[in-house]
Structure 1
Amino acid sequence: MKMPTARQRRLRTILFWAVPAILLLVPLGTNAYTQFIVNGMLISTLVTLGFTIVIGNLGQLAFANTAFFGIGAYGSAILAAKLGVPWLLTIPIAGVFGAAGGFLASAAALRGIRSYYLAIITLAFGELMRWSYLHAKPLTGGTDGLPMPRETLFGTSLTDDTVKFYVFLVVTVLLVKATANLLASRFGRAVMAVRENEVATASLAIPTSRVILVTFIWSGFVVGCAGALFARHIGHVFPESFGMLHLIASFAMVLVGGLGSVLGAVLGAVMLTALPEYLRAFPGMEELFFGLIVAAVLVALPMGLASLLRRLSPIFVERFYREAR
């Protein structure tokens, strides 16, 4: 794959900032329902991004993503509802809670557990957290969930989807940019090296354990922040929101967008968040059409939607990402 020139990299940077600038105009042309869906796309982008960092870039078959998401959502809701912390302040705190979850999830990987064994352990971690949400009723509300308190931002209620959109957009852009910079750095090269051959990487005096640990922690932070956004987006946090169905949907977004690609995380999240809304026009057939479309995309583009854009222009080539064999 031909790498982008210096001029093309500058164009890519301009394009990166131009897209969110254009998105600032979205509320001018949407109704309340469409705005709600767009907000969901931004949240899904962060969830998918955190997922693909571990699975695609680091190459670890870990499925703790739902646990990070729930930890962030419940952390934000508890801080806001129980302790009266302003919701905006709960976003980075929820990210820290998610990062703590990433630290715990990395324990199995640091002990040399890999492949399907790591997948099962991290799945169990997610189910353990969901069990905790159900049974810690004084703190989480149990099966009734935990409502988010009403708040205002600059005099406007945070129940307004337009206000939420601008907050979500800023958080999403910052975290996507930070993740892209991280993966394009020296640390990002170490992450890719661990994915390709962990033993060879360790022989080069690269601290592979630290690389794995930091990657899990950053993944947890990104998804934890997404959980805080989700809590405000829905307005009421329920344990059912963090089960196996959410994990499957997130994994589908990663694969459809492109495994290990930052751009792919965005594309997969947007497509698979919007697609079910279009399929509502076929009542009773939504799941069938959804599955067929996802399968068709993966057959036509095994490396996801990001690979299509990379073929169209070197601008979309991610420097330290290469298509899987």
Structure 2
Amino acid sequence: MQVSSLPRLRRRLFWAVPVLLLALPLLTNEYTQFVANGMLIAALVTLGFSLVIGNLGQLAFANTAFFGLGAYASAILSATLGLPWIVTIPLSGLVGALGGFVASSAALRGIRAYYLAIITLAFGELMRWVYVHARPVTGGTNGLALPKETLFGFSLSDDKVKFYVFLLVAVLLIKATSNLLRSRLGRAIMAVRENEVATASLGIPTARIILMTFAWSGFVTGCAGALFARHVGHVFPESFGMIQLISSFAMVLVGGLGSILGAVLGAVLLTALPEYLRAFPGLEELFFGLIVGAVLLVLPMGLASLLRRASPLFSERYYRE
């Protein structure tokens, strides 16, 4: 395979996958379709998380906060203000980006490593406290239910209809993130990850780079939150706690830090895996932990490294193995 033809083949492969997935609702039952929709949401959440900890190299765990902000923004805009749900998706992304701006303030003050992890964890828990106690707006522990809607005459209560919207949003955000990482800004993000001090000495505004990366991570994850709100139909504070954070972190590690392909693979595997483990009641958590641990021991750089070794077609310039 000629090196010069690789970018063209990658582009064709990228667009071929979603085109093939258009036929998926014709082959699935209601339950399988629900799980497939969850995979698309998880892929965006994992991608947003991986941007900060994998590409930017900051140990920050505010991802669940961005996810919850997006979900609640969509639910409030739909249920309280009466906006069409489809309109709330980019607006929820902007709310998530605002959350990313707030979360980046700790990093901009020079806080790094475990201290940044603790502060961003606290930010996520603070937002969950807000969801519970801001009862007039968020519904408190009862949460918020999204109203039933239609899109072009099709009911958004139908998982097969939702799949096409979710797929479109996922493809657009993944492509936008890929383009961003291949741009000048993307190269600056990688430079900050490798050596922030050296990057700053070259006149690159590292503070602006960190802020923009957190904001884009928040935007992607906030949009995923809007999809999640429609996916489950009812938003609860419990959906955005430590379990969600641990699950997303595991998806990033299993897929491969800093890899877009890895984010998708990790999300698909760890969304489908618990469904298969339901056949072992009482042992699901044990088997889940063993499988995740085995993957990380055999492939410490994630599933993306396995595909990269198999073919240069799956290589990513911004993925460090």
User: Structure 2 matches for 1:222-233, cutoff 5 A?
Assistant: 222-233=220-231
Alpha-carbon distance between aligned partners in 2 of 1:261 and 1:286, rounded to the nearest angstrom: 28
Q: 2:297 aligns with which of 296, 299, 310?
A: 299
Q: Runs ≥4 in structure 1, deviation > 4 angstroms? A: none
Q: 1:86 aligns with which of 66, 84, 87?
A: 84
Contact 2:257 / 2:302 at 8 angstroms: preserved in 1? yes
User: 2:181: which partner in 1?
Assistant: 183
Contact 1:4 / 1:314 at 8 angstroms: preserved in 2? no
Matched, 1:283 2:281: yes
User: 2:37: which partner in 1?
Assistant: 39
1:50 Cα deviation (Å)? Answer: 0.1
Q: 1:255 aligns with which of 253, 256, 272?
A: 253
Q: 1:50 aligns with which of 48, 51, 55?
A: 48
Moved more, 261-270 or 4-13: 4-13
Give the secondary-structure state (helix, strand or coil) at the position aligned to 1:281. coil
1:4 Cα deviation (Å)? Answer: 7.8
Alpha-carbon distance between aligned partners in 2 of 1:119 and 1:188, rounded to the nearest angstrom: 23
1:258 Cα deviation (Å)? Answer: 0.1
Contact 1:4 / 1:315 at 8 angstroms: preserved in 2? no
> Once the two structures are superposed, what CA deviation does each residue of 1:107-156 show, in whole Å capped at 9, x if it has no partner?
00000000000000000000000000000111110000100001011111
Q: 2:120 aligns with which of 119, 122, 140?
A: 122
1:319 Cα deviation (Å)? Answer: 1.4
User: Structure 2 matches for 1:9-28, cutoff 5 A?
Assistant: 9-28=7-26
User: Structure 2 matches for 1:150-229, cutoff 5 A?
Assistant: 150-229=148-227
Alpha-carbon distance between aligned partners in 1 of 2:93 and 2:229, rounded to the nearest angstrom: 13
1:6 Cα deviation (Å)? Answer: 2.2
Unpaired runs of at least 5, structure 1 = none
> Once the two structures are superposed, what CA deviation does each residue of 1:208-228 show, in whole Å capped at 9, x if it has no partner?
001000000000000000000
User: 1:69: which partner in 2?
Assistant: 67
Unpaired runs of at least 5, structure 2 = none
Question: Sequence identity of aligned pairs in percent?
Answer: 77
Amino acid of the structure 2 residue aligned with 1:112: G
Alpha-carbon distance between aligned partners in 2 of 1:116 and 1:45, rounded to the nearest angstrom: 25
Amino acid of the structure 2 residue aligned with 1:39: N
Give the secondary-structure state (helix, strand or coil) at the position aligned to 1:169. helix
- Number of residues paired by the alignment? 321
User: Structure 2 matches for 1:232-251, cutoff 5 A?
Assistant: 232-251=230-249
1:174 Cα deviation (Å)? Answer: 0.3
> Once the two structures are superposed, what CA deviation does each residue of 1:95-114 show, in whole Å capped at 9, x if it has no partner?
00000000000000000000
Q: 1:4 to 1:128 in 2, by over 3 A?
A: farther
